[in-house]
Structure 1
Amino acid sequence: MNIMFFITPKAEVVSVYDTDSMKDVLEILKKHKYSAVPIINEDGNYLGTIKEGDLLWYLYSKGSFEEEMLNKINIMDVPRRVTNETAKVNYNAEDLMSILIGQNFVPVVDDANSFIGIVKRRDVISYAYECMKNAGDFPEAGFKKIK
Structure 2
Amino acid sequence: MNIIKIMIPKISTVFLHENDTVRQGLERFRAHGYTAIPVLNEEEQYVGNVTEGDFLRHILAVGNTDLKFQERYRIGDIMRKECYLALSIDADEKQVIAVALNQNYVPIVDGRGALCGIITRQSLIHYFENQRNA
SS of residue matched to 1:67? coil
The aligned residue for residue 16 of structure 2 is 16
**1:113-138 deviations in whole A, cap 9, x for unaligned?**
11111111111012223444x37xxx
**1:76-112 deviations in whole A, cap 9, x for unaligned?**
1104274100010110122100101111111111121
For CA contacts below 8 A with separation 6 or more, give which structure has more relative contact order. Answer: 2
Shift of residue 43 of structure 1? 1.7
Distance 1:103 1:85, change over 3 A: same
After TM superposition, list the pairs within 5 Å mapping 1:1-147 onto structure 2.
Answer: 1-80=1-80, 82-132=82-132, 134=133
The amino acid of 1:52's aligned partner reads E
Give me the whole-angstrom Cα distance separating, in 2, the residues matched to 1:79 and 1:20: 12
Distance 1:79 1:18, change over 3 A: closer
Q: Runs of 5+ in structure 1 lacking a partner?
A: 136-147
Give me the whole-angstrom Cα distance separating, in 2, the residues matched to 1:90 and 1:16: 24
Give me the whole-angstrom Cα distance separating, in 2, the residues matched to 1:130 and 1:112: 31
Shift of residue 62 of structure 1? 2.4
Instruction: Compute the RMSD of aligned alpha carbons.
Output: 1.7
Distance 1:76 1:103, change over 3 A: same
2:48·2:81 contact (CA, 8 Å) conserved in 1?
no
Give me the whole-angstrom Cα distance separating, in 2, the residues matched to 1:72 and 1:42: 19
**1:30-72 deviations in whole A, cap 9, x for unaligned?**
0111111111123211111111111111211222223343110
Give me the whole-angstrom Cα distance separating, in 1, the residues matched to 2:52 and 2:81: 11
Distance 1:81 1:58, change over 3 A: farther
2:49·2:79 contact (CA, 8 Å) conserved in 1?
no
Q: Runs of 5+ in structure 2 lacking a partner?
A: none
What is the percent sequence identity of the aligned residues?
A: 28
TM-score (norm 1): 0.83
Shift of residue 20 of structure 1? 0.6
Q: Which has the larger radius of gyration?
A: 1
